[in-house]
Structure 1
Amino acid sequence: MTKTNEKIHVLADESLGGIKREYVEVDRKAEVGDKIVIVDKKYPDDIYKNGDIFTVDREVPPGSGYVGSDGAASDMNTGGLIYRGEYRVLEPTNIVHIDDPDGTERYEMVDRKAEVGEKVIVTKSDDFPKGLIDTVEYCYEFSDYGSIDLVEGADDLKYLDAAYEEYRVLVPVESEEEPQPSDLIDVIANLATRVAELERENRRIKDEIDTLHKDNLRHGEELEALKYAAKETDGKVAHLEADIEESFPATDAPLVFICRKPGRFEVYQDGKKLHGVMSVRINAKVGEFATHEIEYISGATEEERQ
């Protein structure tokens, strides 16, 4: 690993066949597969030191910012645990380092159609190895995708079909002996961080929407069940009220006589139940005032009324 300054690191990118690529430090939570650099080691017993670079093998636990790397494991730290404040995530830029006859040069990988004589790097292909660097010998003008012929090629193949394969044009980057992070690199780093944050936020929102949708369905089912139960309850209440009205007539009339069984009756006068009643004689004719006589059991009336 060559460290060009405190924020830019040059590492071999296996996705480009091991080509050296510049990475920038980004302060965010790492995810599985990310490259990280130790910037603030916390515990002396850990085997790693500031400046060491690892690949994240696991999150401990997911989303916490604590990560584990097999490369950081030791007898004292068997899980290779690295705390959130100890590292920075390394985000890849479009700047690669290519060995030329005159030495190592920095190039920017640009996504556009190549022209004859330009240098390109293969980034996706079934015919050419990833990271293959070659010069354009011929450009197919009819191709909407920028298909080209390479000078050297591989395995006797020179034609790169850009409809199915991908390449990037290598544009030389003017650099000083000690390159500093340019505004473009900072923008790329910030954009990469923002994109990662938005993707995580998008996943979280989708999960919440799915949960709310499921809750709405469940609440709808529960509401329908409650409505059905309420209807049944209303029907039962109506039947009960009818039964009560039929079995227990209103007792707010001047005189109410209720005979439930032969020899057993109740008498209500002006809404109050009378106690100690022995007999009742009622005289009633249509169009005339009704009269009644009540015979009480001696000595029982007072006791019953208490």
Structure 2
Amino acid sequence: MTETNANANVKIHVLAEETLGGIKCEYVEVDRKAKVSEKIVIVDADVQNEESYDNGDIFKVEKKYGLSETARTKCNRFILDTEYRVLEPTDIVHINGQRYKMVDRKAEVGEKVIHMYESKSDGIARKTIKVDATSVEVDPFVHNGGVRSVFAHGYYRVLVPLDKHEKTFENKNSVYKEMKNLIHNDLGITRQEIQEMISVAVSNEVQNMSESGKLHSIAGAKIESLIEEGFRDGGRLLYGFKERVSKTVSEEVGKRIANVLNINVELKEGRN
């Protein structure tokens, strides 16, 4: 499977990784000369070179010929260095449809880990049930004819779920949509009415802050602080002082208003 990271315009390939027990690992395309045993992907096939092959084909480099700038693959095909991109493995793996990042750190109870030895693994995710100063304990399993349940620290990788943030965002987005439907459909509050409520609430809050002296106090404290900072350099006013005062004070007032502003949608119910 091949996909593109839109943010960095990086092509990602999801391939089975032999050293990790055959679980799928994400590889990224890199424009450099390959080394022996590395995987490459064809991006600009020269069909006149040996047997024909197509863009997108993936091979493993068996030999390198530096002067002629060719790579000999496992299929005995000679490929020019201009025809391919190197596939570099990342720490991101796919297990049972879930994306994880393998992290080299001490695991916590409840986290999933995979055993590592000499950069190899069976690729099986196991749940951590106990952690002490020297090792982690997982559910017992059969290994080389015996039962094993302990991995020493440094001989495993923690599997950190990468879709957690995405799912959290989806849940928040779902809650937002539910609230939006509640406001518009169940409570019957229109967008214009919400804007009017916000306008009235903000206007009242600013008036209250002004009458109580809070607005003057907030602005005054900020300005005094900026003036003190502005004249530190030998009594000379720093460049951009005016703009910083304006921006800082307006942001601070806005934050204070946002903190105390609480629009209760139940007001609409009370009106019905």
TM-score, normalised with respect to structure 2: 0.53
Residue 123 (structure 1) aligned to one of 116, 128, 141: 116
Name the structure with the higher helix share.
2
Q: Distance in 2 between matches of 1:132 and 1:13?
A: 13
Shift of residue 70 of structure 1? 2.9
Q: Is the aligned partner of 1:108 residue 2:101? A: yes
Residue 19 (structure 2) aligned to one of 5, 15, 21: 15
Q: Distance in 2 between matches of 1:63 and 1:137?
A: 55
Q: Residues 167 and 160 (structure 1 numbering): CA distance in 2 closer, same or farther, change over 3 Å?
A: same
Q: Is the aligned partner of 1:53 residue 2:53? A: no
Q: Residues 129 and 83 (structure 1 numbering): CA distance in 2 closer, same or farther, change over 3 Å?
A: closer
CA contact (8 A) 2:47 2:53 kept: no
Contiguous gaps of at least 5 residues in structure 1: 74-79, 177-306
Q: Distance in 2 between matches of 1:63 and 1:173?
A: 43
Q: Is the aligned partner of 1:32 residue 2:23? A: no
**What amino acid sits opposite 1:4 in the alignment?**
E
Q: Residues 132 and 64 (structure 1 numbering): CA distance in 2 closer, same or farther, change over 3 Å?
A: farther
**RMSD after superposition:** 2.5
* Match in the other structure for 2:266: none
Residue 172 (structure 1) aligned to one of 158, 161, 169: 161
Q: Distance in 1 between matches of 2:90 and 2:78?
A: 27
Contiguous gaps of at least 5 residues in structure 2: 5-9, 167-272
Q: How many residues align?
A: 157
CA contact (8 A) 1:134 1:153 kept: no
Shift of residue 129 of structure 1? 5.5
Q: Distance in 2 between matches of 1:154 and 1:36?
A: 36
CA contact (8 A) 2:19 2:121 kept: no
Within a 5 Å distance, the mapping from 1:286-301 to structure 2 comes to none
Poorly superposed stretches of 4+, deviation over 2 Å: 44-47, 62-65, 152-155
Superposed CA offset, 1:250-270 (max 9, x none) = xxxxxxxxxxxxxxxxxxxxx
* Match in the other structure for 2:87: 90
* Match in the other structure for 1:148: 136
Q: Secondary structure at the match of 2:150?
A: strand
**What amino acid sits opposite 1:158 in the alignment?**
S
Superposed CA offset, 1:215-266 (max 9, x none) = xxxxxxxxxxxxxxxxxxxxxxxxxxxxxxxxxxxxxxxxxxxxxxxxxxxx
TM-score, normalised with respect to structure 1: 0.47
* Match in the other structure for 1:303: none
